[in-house]
Amino acid sequence: MIARELINHMIPPLKMTDRVQKAITWMEELRINQLPVIEKGQFKGLVSEELVFEKNNLDQLVSEFELFGKKCYVNENQHLYEIIKLSSDYSVEVIAVVDNDGEFTGIVTVQDTLAAFAQSAAIQSPGGIVVLSLNQRDYSMTEISRLVESNDAKILGSSISLDPLDSSKLKLTLKTNKTDLSHIIATFERFGYKIIAKFIKTEDESNEKERLDILLKYLDI
């Protein structure tokens, strides 16, 4: 899914000439803590509820604020993974979307992005999640896929991150279509891979808390 498909058309941008009163009203009505600001169709940054209340002047113009998140935007054709990465890098709740000419086209919320991600086949399909620790020089997705498929299984999704305790190692999270991970784990261990975690998602997991837990584990948040 790409950014253009995730735009929340209920959230309008503020203009530099708007007053603080409008920002407060919109934030309260939309129940959101951050809003985009544009000027002549160009994204200029974000204004937050905290910043607005610090000034405590309803007649002040948005142009008088020191906007933040000026790099918190994606092209409308970029994947939702880039939205998640930006929101994490800059600790923001909304990401602006621009077209190929740099014109502001809308805003995407992190909440909407995670909700869309949670509906993907990799999350919704029953299966198991296994987390491997391996040296960076040993990483080969081709080889790892071969080992998984040798057990009549498929990789539905994957994510990779540096080990915070050892920069020479990677943490690789794999979502497979098998709920029984015993054979896959045995194969990995036979080839010298270290298993550091495993999680199971079955067809019976239907309540929202369980779905959120499996999503957060998959994202390694």
Q: Helix 141-149 to helix 182-190 angle, to the nearest 10 degrees?
A: 130
Q: What is the pLDDT of residue 212?
A: 57
Section 81-91 average pLDDT? 89
Whether the pLDDT of residue 105 is over 80: the answer is yes
Residue 176: both structure tokens together: 């497979």
Q: Which domains does the chain have, with CATH numbers?
A: 3-117 (3.10.580.10), 121-219 (3.30.70.260)
Q: Who has greater pLDDT, 53 or 125?
A: 53
Q: Who has greater pLDDT, 79 or 208?
A: 79
The model's pTM is 0.64
Q: What is the pLDDT of residue 127?
A: 85
